[in-house]
A and B are shown apart, each in its own frame.
Chain A
């Protein structure tokens, strides 16, 4: 045929035009498109719920979180926010990331009171699962397995379910009614929780016999120890972080006297210091002693601010050496450290300086230098191997399994364990992750303008420091609707993906001229990996070298201008959403 032209093949970014795709290409595309969701261990659809918040649809926002991360109200307060580190606002260095976590809490604070459990994925399987430990990982695995149709019982040795949520984290950061409500929602779905039910190795052997699957989710119950010369065993003067927080949270600690030093730089150390401040008199000093710098500590900006306000001193680059007394007052002698030159890691190596002692008043010492799991719960001869064990129907999750360190990774671990257990129970993998691709019909109108990119981020309101120490009052009071609105509109809404149909594009460049940033590029060639995922774009300068006009969704601000100026309707806007459970045809 005359005038039949050979054209470069169009790069594809999804395996389906619309519908649900489950290919590696789909997952790679959504992973690159939505960096916050990709960073979230539980793969929370962040832009999806923020868009609902911007529209005032709090229940819808809450349900998205509930689906993805199980504890929206809890995580909205205490999440470690790895998503925010990946937010595209960081790349452009404008006013810091979207306050994803605070927004999650805002939605959770503004839902209708009655929430129903999430719908099950599968009907009853007749399989019985017992989970030991009602912490975040155990409860997540329980909820997921319950939705997969299995009969789930959770055994908890403490009087209250929640694990670290109630025993580790103080109520002034995480009110207990929030925890209780979200655990109740899991129970409403059909999960049985038995508290006061300690399980040892012998009980475990029986459970393994009686259940189709057993999951150990007992977390890290043992504190790391270190020897500091001169520190005795006096239980009113020497604590481990875990023990201190547990007793504090149960109201078992008396008022402390004298100066307090917390050793460590993790979450527990900060919680211990702030809790100790609530137990000592105003003239006592509370200090954190940490061997690296503030940048290596787990605490976020708001926590440092809170510590500053609460008069908790953070003393860094110090390692405790020995404890001594000076009359009636105790003193912790520390040595100074320096960061090893040239080490730019988040936790760099350090070197101790000789002859560099620093004395810190210290009557009460709290060692919060990490914790580990207690393997004694495993019956003899059973070895742990990640989520699995040498016993085929015994599994592990959360901190006990060893890959998690905080609540969000525990949730992720719980979800992952649930799938492995489901496959074991049913003899086949019944579901996979997928990506829903939807077309939109709104002329690219996402409600976003360039103005939103340069919005000022407003801080989380906090209780006045006067009165903060009464009744374990929650320090962060939550976003007001006005602040939430500002915060929500900053989100780039990365779930929307603009695409150019290369067969309709005439290279008029109008989209490039309308683009607010260098988000649309001329490409000479686009190289793809074996999955068809574009990995390298060679940009073109001249029209004659331009094979494709290419929208770089990494730079896209979702203003929709390109779509609206396109004279051939070559540009479309798709909505991508990750689905945790795409049922496979058996």
Chain B
């Protein structure tokens, strides 16, 4: 009989998943190698293959972006022991180790677990790290505590075994207010705090995402009371599980379900899923509601040392390229014990922060941080560049993003651009997967190779004027060697027409992309 002919419309990854989501890392250590099928399943354990053969990356899941100082010290220790001393902060508030060897993975997982750290569901077709806006519980604009909600959500969905095998990854994030610092519009499920009739709850948008095919999330519900948000997210996950494409992984994310089936279909399904699980939808409002909270600033993260409603301060550590040494990271844990609330926070701009810093301690803490060689100011400015790891570690990357990072940082740090420092952010990503969401930045770079007469060189597609709800417009494709000149031309053009403290994106929308094209290509 024929060897195998199922005619099942299912991707190979689905076949591998169907064979089981369990791996024995001790066994793997004995064999000394990870098989191809194993490396697919290893993602459920938060472990990826690196660009360099034989090396692996592990992603520590940090719901809400908060760990205790003890956990931070544990992480620093493991980075030293197994990861060549490097800790990376991600844009989804997780931490990553690189350069891990197969033989050490089992021990690493065990040692992480001793302090409650975990890489479980760091990758894989599951609910990924649930993120929150960086200021969360201390933010003056908050409608509710987004961080606590994120932690609760992660615990709740992490217990749902029927959501272990989704068609693709599933990302949820919480913002405390409509300023949407957590970037809800580019996640599968984005929740923004609102107060309606005195009840705190969330506006829910679904189906956003970056990647090769970006979508802005669409409004699912105008208002979901805070005590029902877990069930709603579970209902969305079930919608995704049932309707996601299991053949074409490139089109399996929730954003494609929403795009393909329509938001109305999705809403009906979600409500039906809620009813199936005996959750009433009576107090869920579909239409947008009027938010009763205090007015919020558009870019709250620009404040360098914001004071929380409890009188305590938040102090930031700007981490270039999101990468620290294990010793620095350990020192951060110590600083949190000495000056802050014994916790280390991660932000979605690959930075660290301390909370609960007494006003009297702010200066001392800041000078301690500066002594380590890090800036405490400049959050969410042009110099707060987010870059993916690029070809340094990532097998998917096309360009060495960190090389461009250095160029861009040098240019934006020039004194003549001081006046526009707070006018936008720059994101650099090494491939269309958009790990650094370049489409929503004021200036976005996406790695590519540009064909020449013979051979090819590294280059970038450059977008201008992106925001969460309207992606950047393409300025052009530039060789790496031309990026510096191009960036200066863009910034000079911006300086020339900027009105008061206008953001770059607003400027692009006001004067049009054509103005910047002429400035760059020299036909002005």
Contacts and interface: CB of A to CB of B under 8 A. Distances in A.
Given A443-B251, A451-B4, A455-B2, A506 B448 contact: yes
B479 to A, nearest CB: 7
Contacts of A8: 451-454
Among A506, A525, A548, A564, the one with the most B-chain Cβ atoms within 10 Å of its Cβ is A506
B250 A525 contact: no
Contact of B449 (A6, A546, A565, A569): A546
B76 to A, nearest CB: 34
A545 B521 contact: no
B456 A547 contact: yes
B18 to A, nearest CB: 15
Interface string A494-516: 00000000100111111001000
B456 A546 contact: yes
Contacts of A566: 212
Nearest to B461: A506
Interface string A300-330: 0000000000000000000000000000000
Given A506-B448, A540-B455, A564-B251, 20 more contacts: A1-B521, A5-B450, A8-B452, A8-B454, A443-B248, A451-B5, A486-B5, A489-B5, A507-B449, A509-B398, A525-B454, A543-B449, A546-B449, A546-B455, A547-B453, A547-B454, A564-B250, A565-B250, A567-B212, A568-B212
B251 A3 contact: no
A524 interface: yes
Contacts of A569: 212
A91 interface: no
Contacts of A445: 247-248
Nearest to B479: A5
A548 B313 CA distance: 54
B452 A6 contact: yes
Interface string A7-35: 11000000000000000000000000000
Interface string B1-40: 1111111000000000000000000000000000000000
Given A454-B3, A456-B2, A486-B5, A545 B455 contact: yes
A513 B449 CA distance: 17
Contacts of B5: 451-452, 455, 485-486, 489
Q: Lowest 3 CB-CB distances: which A-B pairs, in order?
A: A506-B448, A567-B212, A567-B432
Given A456-B2, A567-B431, A5 B523 contact: no
Given A6-B452, A524-B454, A506 B432 contact: yes
Interface in A529-548: 540, 543-548
B340 interface: no
A157 to B, nearest CB: 49
16 contacts: A1-B523, A5-B479, A443-B248, A445-B247, A455-B3, A456-B2, A502-B451, A506-B431, A506-B447, A507-B398, A543-B449, A544-B455, A544-B456, A546-B456, A547-B455, A567-B433
Interface residues of B, number: 42
A547 B398 contact: no
A485 B211 CA distance: 38
A508 B432 contact: yes
Nearest to A450: B12
Contacts of A3: 476, 478-479, 482, 486, 520-521
Given A7-B452, A489-B5, A543-B456, A1 B398 contact: no
A contact residues, range? 35 or more
B3 A456 contact: yes
A564 B521 contact: no
A346 interface: no
Nearest to A504: B448
Contacts of B212: 566-569
B410 interface: no
Interface in B429-484: 431-433, 447-457, 461, 476, 478-479, 482
B52 to A, nearest CB: 15
B169 interface: no
Contacts of B247: 445
A524 B454 CA distance: 7
A176 B426 CA distance: 78
Contacts of B457: 544
A139 B260 CA distance: 53
A7 B453 CA distance: 5
Interface of B: 1-7, 211-212, 247-251, 395-396, 398, 431-433, 447-457, 461, 476, 478-479, 482, 485-486, 520-523
A489 B450 CA distance: 39
Contacts of B456: 507, 543-544, 546-547
B451 A568 contact: no
Contacts of B251: 443, 564
A505 B398 CA distance: 11
A2 B520 contact: yes
A528 to B, nearest CB: 15
Contacts of A456: 1-3
Contacts of A543: 449, 456
A445 B482 CA distance: 40
Nearest to A509: B398
Contacts of A455: 2-3, 5
B522 A2 contact: yes
A406 to B, nearest CB: 32
A445 B520 CA distance: 42
A8 B454 CA distance: 6
A568 B432 contact: yes
A37 B461 CA distance: 43
Contacts of B522: 1-2
A556 B263 CA distance: 38
B2 A548 contact: no
Contacts of B395: 513
Nearest to B489: A2
A5 B450 CA distance: 9
Contacts of B521: 1-4
Interface string A559-572: 00000111111000
A446 to B, nearest CB: 12
Contacts of A548: 451
A516 to B, nearest CB: 9
A506 B453 contact: no
Contacts of B396: 508, 510
Contacts of B461: 506
B7 to A, nearest CB: 8
A573 to B, nearest CB: 13
B520 A547 contact: no
A509 B431 CA distance: 11
Interface centre among A508, A509, A513 (most CB of B within 10 A): A508
The CB with the most chain A CB atoms within 10 A, among B6, B211, B455, is that of B455
A456, A485, A567: which has the most chain B beta carbons within 10 Å?
A567
A304 B212 CA distance: 56
A356 to B, nearest CB: 48
B299 to A, nearest CB: 30
B453 A524 contact: no
